Amino acid sequence: MTEKIVLAYSGGLDTSVAIGWIHDATGADVIACAVDVGQGGEDLEVIRQRALDCGAVEAYIADARDEFAEEYCMQALKANSLYMDAYPNVSAISRPVIAKHLVAAAKKFGATTVAHGCTGKGNDQVRFEVSITSLAPELNCIAPVRDLALTRDKAIDYAERNNLPIETTKSNPFSIDQNVWGRAIETGFLEDIWNEPTKDVYSYTDDPAFPPVADEVVITFEQGVPVAIDGEKVTPLQAIEQMNRRAGAQGIGRIDIVEDRLVGIKSREVYEAPGAMALIEAHKELERVTLEREQARFKREVSDRWTDLVYDGQWFSPLKRSLDAFIDDTQRYVSGDIRMRLHGGRATVTGRRSDSGLYDFNLATYDEGDSFDQSNAKGFIEIYGLASKQSTARDEKFGNGPTFGDGSSLNAGSES
């Protein structure tokens, strides 16, 4: 019986060539698996037929847009996930859902191995393979570029020699990965970190230097998830798509960073994530209204750890699952409306309201109606500062009292 290998298939040159390349190198039949996570482009049926025309014995096609938005993007939103405080894990959160469908295809067709198109220098090889083996430890993984010497030049030559139904060109200078949560661009002249991105780098966003009239939007959340925009009900996918259009038109969500890859390399990455960045900003502001102070502080620590785990390919790990439980619990009261002004590259919160919020006008106001008993403050301060006061008294007893910034003692010059 011929061995079967499932290949993560995009419909582009490299993965189209990989079908025949893998078969020639291993003798295995190749099953193409294409997963739509909102990357746009060609119809899935067109991609399916191309895979078959390029030599795949079967083609597994999955429209995972709603699944991706609801189960992956929304969890990232609830975590306010920003790797290195900047990158909303655009590619990182798509890999586990793609891996899930790769495993499903492998089980359906009896494959023993899963293949992907990643290089040996990036994060995605780790994300795919760790996700695949976490879901199905019995499966093997290969990468034609990394393991079978499939370079770009060889791919073009192979496609031309075998008359594959795919455009072959060396003109595109960038490596691009995109989905509904955002778009990642790297390589080419961007590898010189002094070079400024040119206009042709961007697709999801317009130039923020020349914005249209400001756009005001009201986003309604229920338990941390957007459920309406300007009063119109939306699904998670619709919320992201609509905010991509509206925030993108204002140039919001452009990110240019030197990023620490998991494999130890620093890499220059340019991202566009208009919907993700606007929604995260709105969600963070609603949490400021609804989360208790210590809970909010600890959630920031949890969110940072969650983000690192997901970036590092540990979506299906026990720790990430436990952190999900904490994050979901914090969202119990994260419901309400956030009004934002979208303009010139910025998403600025201008209003908040929540029936489950902890903001109390009568406690906060300094005007008539103030219900805060200020007489309680003196005793609170005495107790709050008691430990520090006692510590300072001990230091002074042993000649180690506090000093000024220039090193002089607070008691200097007091002796006569």
* Residues contributing to the annotated binding site for L-aspartate: 119, 123-124
- Is 388 known to be catalytic? no
* 269: CB partners within 8 A, 6+ apart: 87, 184, 185, 186, 255, 256, 257, 258, 259
Strand order in the sheet with 175-179: 175-179, 182-186, 266-272, 254-260
| C-alpha–C-alpha distance, residues 75 and 97, integer Å | 13
Kindly name the residue from 29, 81, 94, 124 that is annotated as catalytic: 124
Rounded Cα distance between 398 and 82, Å, is: 47
- Spatial separation of the C-alpha atoms in residues 176 and 202, rounded to whole Å: 11
Instruction: Label residue 159 exposed, middle or buried (CB < 10 Å: 0-12, 13-18, 19+).
Output: buried
Of 146, 147, 175, 328, the catalytic one is 175
**What three-state secondary structure class fits 58?**
strand
CA 110, 116, 121: angle at the middle one, nearest 5?
A: 150
Distance CA 104, CA 84 (A): 33
Residue whose structure tokens are 């890499």: 267
One of 95, 183, 246, 254 is an active-site residue; which one?
Answer: 95
Quote the CA–CA distance of 203 and 205 in Å, as a whole number. Answer: 6
Q: Is 124 a catalytic residue?
A: yes
Q: Respond yes or no: is residue 14 known to be catalytic.
A: yes
Known binding site: residues? 8-16, 87, 117, 119, 123-124, 127, 175, 259, 271
Length of the chain: 416
Tokens of 365: 């106001």
* Active site (annotated) includes residue 175: yes
| Residues annotated as catalytic (active site), given as ranges | 14, 95, 124, 175
